[in-house]
Structure 1
């Protein structure tokens, strides 16, 4: 992402990805109850509900605003760089993918379909961890003051291993995923404190 034109194109594409699921919301609007689940417990059962209109239209609008803030922050930061941030495409895809997954899970539960939310969310997080882990070793102090080659490599290994471990945890109950995330968080905190 080196030019304003590329940044503009990425913005249009990612905002379109965020807003596209609303078409399904409009199609199934009359079949949905007035309150739709938007949060799930570890037992995969909904434990919080929101208004149908907020779920169908609020989630994509809030995600769009978040994406525009992210693009604006990236553009402001890009002015001080001599080269683009190498993992920018990963950063730009986080909001569209997560908001789309949340939207489709919410819509599906609203229509009465039961999904294994923990496995879906864990899979998405694992893929992002692996993608980010592949880019951390390429970051330099120009990308962020905290990135030195040793820390970048350690973060890269940690994210890739955590992603792979999360994928492995899909074959077990939720305790496995929580354990992997707990170990990962402790390791990252240790890196930050002792760098």
Structure 2
């Protein structure tokens, strides 16, 4: 069983512009974000993609719908791909919360310290576990196929850090956060995964 995933962070959204932290499930795409999503769809033409999956957050679902529309495909929403939940800090625009969120994500990705969490939000075990389950389910449904997966900067990075061993690359991955709507390939069988490249930073 093997599958190729074209993964991408959702396109630019309102919560990014307003610097709002957390899962923020109802944040919409900006006009620029809609253009980014359409461009991602055009870039993925010819990749052999047969289906598009996405987090159920509005910004990810809308990105997926635009990509899928460009490719003539349908989408499936997976809540397991949601952004990291921050508990009582959810929706904060405080700089201290943003700093703590970055600190926690770095601990997960670089140090493998999955016990860390922001406030009473999700720890790394919860986040990486649900992302891994979502990707394993996709692999089981698309053996030998190619699909697109639209996620979020923190949960997608944390999940792939564990699944692909990105944490061993330390600051190379940490210093290159996922840009909006830039696809990159991940291959695996639902258990073992390989990420050959990272947007803005080659992993070779």
Larger radius of gyration: 1
State TM-score, norm by structure 1: 0.32
* Structure number having the greater helix percentage: 1
* Structure number having the greater strand percentage: 2
State TM-score, norm by structure 2: 0.31
Structure having greater relative contact order (Cα 8 Å, sep ≥ 6): 2
